[in-house]
Amino acid sequence: MASNPTSTGSGRLGVAKTRKLFIDGAFVRSESGRTFATPGPSGNEVNVAMASRKDVRDAVSAARRCLPAWSGLTAYNRGQILYRMAEMIESRSLEFAELVAVREGCTVAEAKGRVEMSVDRWVWYAGWTDKLGNLAASVNPVAGPYFNFSLPVPTGVVAVFAPASLLGITSVLASTVAAGNVAILVAEERGSLVSTSLAEAVATSDFPAGAVNVLTGIQDELVETVSSHRGIDGLDISGLAPELRVASESAASSSVKRVFSESVVEWTEPPSVSRVLAFVEVKTVWHPIGI
C-alpha cells in the first residue's frame, strides 16, 4: 500500500516514508512485507510496517542476545543512557509534539506540555537505576555462621504492550529497562508513529543493539504470539484493551510468565517505582562468615 504523496510547496512531491520495525538496533521491513496506513501530522497517510510472527521471533532473539550486555552494565551507566533518551526526545520535541497533537486531538501547545512530561519521566526513571539496590536489597538475619543477602536482579526479556500516548509509552518502556530488563515494545496501532519516532531516539541514545525493540502492527494479531513465546520472561499488558488482556494472560500461562497489569491507568499521574519493581526478581545468596 503506497502512501499518498504530499507536496513540499516547492512544486515537487515529497518522499513518501514507510515507518519500519526496530529490531536488534536496525530499522527493518516486516518479513511479511505488509503495511498499514495511519494519519500523519500533515494530514497525509503514512505507511507503517506490520509485524509478523517471524518478526516477533527475531525481536526475541535480538533481546536475548543483548540481555547479558544490558543487565551487566552498572546501574549508573544504565541511568546515563536513560538520561540520554530524555535528551534525544527533548531535542526533537517539536516533531513529537506534532505527532502527539494528531494522536491525542489536542493543540500543539498542549502537546508540547505532554512531551515535556515524557522527558521528565525518562529522567525520573533514570534516577531510580542506581537506587533499586537500596530499596529492594537486604541483609537478612539467619541462625548460623553465614551472611544472607537478598539482591534485586532483572526478570530478563519483557514484552510491553504499549498504550497509544507518548506519556504512556514512556512510562511502560522506561520503567522496564531501568531495572536492567531488555524490552520488546508492541505498539498500539494508533500510537505507531509515536512509537517509531521513539525508536529513532533509541537508535541515537547509546542503548546496545537489542536492548529495546519496537514492533508495529495489529495488537490483536500479535497478542497470542508474543504472550505464548517461551523466550519472553515477562509481560506488561497495561496497554491492552480488557478483552485482549484475558487472551494475553491465557496464552502466557503455558510458560508461567510474570504478568503485570494496571487495570485503570491515568498516565498523567505521577510515576511510581512499583512499575520498576514489577520486573525485578530478588535473588538470595548465602555466604559463610570467615574466621
User: Concatenated DSSP letters for 185-221?
Assistant: EE--GGGHHHHHHHHHHHHTTTPPTTSEEEE-S-HHH
d(CA 227, CA 235): 7
pLDDT score at 1: 42
β-strands 157-161, 234-236 pairing: parallel
Q: Are 160 and 41 in contact (CB under 8 A)?
A: no
Which pTM was predicted? Answer: 0.90
pLDDT at 2: 44
Tell me, what's the pLDDT at 10? 60
Please name each of the domains of the chain with its CATH number. Answer: 19-288 (3.40.605.10)
pLDDT at 3: 46
> Which residues on adjacent β-strands are paired with residue 183?
158, 212
- Cell matching residue 106: 489536542
Tell me the mean pLDDT per 10 residues along the chain, length 291: 50 75 96 90 87 97 97 96 97 94 88 95 96 86 88 95 92 96 95 94 95 95 96 95 92 93 80 92 88 57
Residue 267: what pLDDT? 85
- The amino acid present at 55, given as its one-letter code, is D
**Residue 125, CA distances (Å) to 106, 158, 169, 173 in order:** 26, 17, 13, 10
DSSP state of 142: -
